[in-house]
A and B are shown apart, each in its own frame.
Chain A
Amino acid sequence: MDYVIETRDLSKQFGTVQAVTGLNLRVTRNQVTGFLGRNGAGKSTTIKMLLGMTHPTSGSGLLLGHSITDPKQDLEARRQVAYCGEDKQLYAYMTVKQLINFTASFYPDWRSEVAASLLDQFQLPPGRKVKALSKGMRTKLSLLLALARRPALLILDEPTEGLDPVAIEELLQTLAGSPADGTTVFFSSHQISEVERIADRVCIIDRGKLAVDLSLDEIRQDHRRITLSFCRQPPEHLFDLPEVRSIETNGSQMIVVSSHGVDAVVERAKTAGAVVVDIVPVNLRELFLWTVQDHK
C-alpha cells in the first residue's frame, strides 16, 4: 500500500492535556480521505504535527515518505504538500497579486495558467489588499494558492467554511477530480454530507485517538442499523459480537448497529424471541455521532 501519510503511535501532550494519543493514521495515495472529529478531538494538532508546526511528544510519522520529526525531511515533504488551514487568514499587508507571486516563488510545481483562471473564476481583484477581502474571498484565495499547484498531497482544514453554496459545489468538484492529477486529498470537515459525497475513505478521531478508519464503500455495504422488538427482557450480553458497534435500548425496542452485515445479529435476535422491525443502512452522520458521543 502506498501511503502519503503514515503515523506510528503519534502522541502530543500539552501540559496535562493529551491532545493526540497513539495515533496510527494511514492515508492512501490518490484517494480522497475525510478526517472527522469533534472540536478539540485532535484534528488540527495532528495536521500541525504532520506539517512540522508542532513537535510530537512521542511517536513518529511519514509525510510522503519523509519523517515528520526531522525538520529537514519534513521541509522536503512540504514542497509537495499544499495546505489550507482553518485560520483562513493571509498576510493582510500584501495585495492579492503580491501574495500569489510570493507563494508561487516557493513551489516549482506552480502553474500560472491555473492561477490566472482561478483568479478569474473566483473573481478576486488582483490589486486589492488582503485585509480588504471578505472572509469568503480570503478562503477562495487560500484555495487558489493550493490548487494552482499540482501537489502530491492536498491537506485542507475546513475548506468549505465561509463559502457560499456555489463555491462549495465548485470546490467539491475540484476535490473530487483531484485523484486524476495524482493529487491525494486529505481534508477535515464538520460538513459530514460533503465528506459523504466525495470521500473514498473516512478517518474519525475522537479524544485524540483514531476511532474509525473505513472506506465509504464498507460503511454503505456492510453497516446496518437493525431495529428489534422484544416481548420480554433480552439477555444482558445477547449481542456481544465483534461487529456490533452500538446498542440502544428504547423500552421494548432495541437498535443494534452492526458493521458486518445482519445475519449474526438477526440469528441471535430470533433465539431471544425478537421480531426484526426493520433494517436500514447507516449513514456517515450516524456513524460519526455514535462514535464520538458518550457511550452508554
Chain B
Amino acid sequence: MFKLNPQAGQPLYLQLMQQIRHAIDTGALRAGDQLPGIRTLAEEIVVSHNTVAKAYSELEHEGTIELRHGSGAFIASRNKVQARSERFRHAQDRVRVLVEALRRDGWSDDEIHRMFEAELLYPERSSVKR
C-alpha cells in the first residue's frame, strides 16, 4: 500500500505522512477506516518502527488520524472537510518549491509572475505544447 523511498531527499516519516494523506485525498482511505498497527505496518513496508510511530504521531497531532488507546489508528472523521484545504495547502507548497527554484536560477519575481500568467491565460498554446 505504501512505498517509501529511502533515497529521496525527504525523511521517511514525512513520506509516509504524505502517502497516508494522499490515500485519504483520493478516497482510498475513508473517515473511520483503520490503519495497520504501528508494528505491523513497520514490518510490512520494512521501515523502522520509530518512523511509523513518528508519522502516526504527527498525523494525530494535525488531526488527520485518531489513535484510540487499545484499538489502533483510525482516519479522523473531520477529514472529509479538511481534505480539500489540506490539498490546497499541498498545492501551494508545490508552487512555492517551483518559485524558489526559479528564483535561484536568477529569475526576478516580475519575470516569474509573467511566466505564470502566460501559462494560465493562454491554455490553447499550453495544450499544444503538450
**Physical contact A–B (CB less than 8 Å):** yes
Q: Which residues of A contact B (CB under 8 A)?
A: 30-32, 169, 172-174, 176-180, 193, 196-200, 216-217, 220-221, 223-224, 266, 276, 280-284
**CB distance A217 to B13 under 8 Å?**
yes
Complex Cα spacing A106 to B104, Å: 62
How far in angstroms is the closest Cβ of chain A from B43? 4
Complex Cα spacing A213 to B62, Å: 30
How far in angstroms is the closest Cβ of chain B from A209? 26
**CB distance A221 to B6 under 8 Å?**
no
Residues of B within 8 Å of A193, CB to CB, are 6
**CB distance A178 to B49 under 8 Å?**
yes
**CB distance A220 to B46 under 8 Å?**
no
Of A173, A223, A282, which is within 8 A of B46 by CB?
Answer: A173
Residues of A within 8 Å of B91, CB to CB, are none
Complex Cα spacing A216 to B51, Å: 10
Q: 8 Å CB contacts to A: which residues of B1-28? A: 6-13
**CB distance B49 to A281 under 8 Å?**
no
Residue among B13, B104, B105 facing the most chain A CB atoms (10 A cut-off)? B104
Residues of B within 8 Å of A216, CB to CB, are 6, 11-12
How far in angstroms is the closest Cβ of chain A from B72? 13
Complex Cα spacing A176 to B8, Å: 19
**CB distance A172 to B7 under 8 Å?**
no
Q: 8 Å CB contacts to A: which residues of B38-62? A: 38-39, 42-44, 46-51, 53
**CB distance B47 to A176 under 8 Å?**
yes
Q: Given A173-B43, A177-B43, does the pair A283, B48 have CB atoms closer than 8 Å? A: no
**CB distance A281 to B47 under 8 Å?**
no
Q: Given A177-B42, A197-B6, A276-B105, does the pair A220, B50 have CB atoms closer than 8 Å? A: no
**CB distance B43 to A174 under 8 Å?**
yes
Complex Cα spacing A283 to B12, Å: 13
- Nearest residue (CB) in A for B7 is A283
Tier of interface size on chain B = 20 to 34
| A-B pairs with beta carbons under 8 Å apart, 20 shown | A30-B50, A172-B46, A176-B47, A176-B48, A177-B39, A177-B49, A178-B49, A179-B53, A180-B39, A196-B6, A196-B7, A198-B48, A199-B48, A200-B50, A224-B9, A266-B104, A276-B104, A281-B9, A282-B9, A284-B6
CB < 8 Å A-B pair total: 73
Complex Cα spacing A217 to B49, Å: 14
**CB distance B9 to A200 under 8 Å?**
no
Complex Cα spacing A282 to B8, Å: 8
How far in angstroms is the closest Cβ of chain B from A266? 6
- Nearest residue (CB) in B for A224 is B9
Residues of B within 8 Å of A180, CB to CB, are 38-39, 42, 49
How far in angstroms is the closest Cβ of chain B from A150? 14
Of A172, A179, A224, A282, which is within 8 A of B49 by CB?
Answer: A179
- Nearest residue (CB) in B for A223 is B9
- Nearest residue (CB) in B for A185 is B48
Complex Cα spacing A199 to B50, Å: 9
Complex Cα spacing A183 to B7, Å: 26
**CB distance A31 to B50 under 8 Å?**
yes
- Binary contact readout B49-79 vs A (1 if CB under 8 angstroms, 0 otherwise): 1110100000000000000000000000000
**CB distance B42 to A169 under 8 Å?**
no
How far in angstroms is the closest Cβ of chain A from B73? 14
Residues of B within 8 Å of A31, CB to CB, are 48, 50
Residues of A within 8 Å of B42, CB to CB, are 176-177, 180
Complex Cα spacing A179 to B39, Å: 9
**CB distance B8 to A200 under 8 Å?**
no
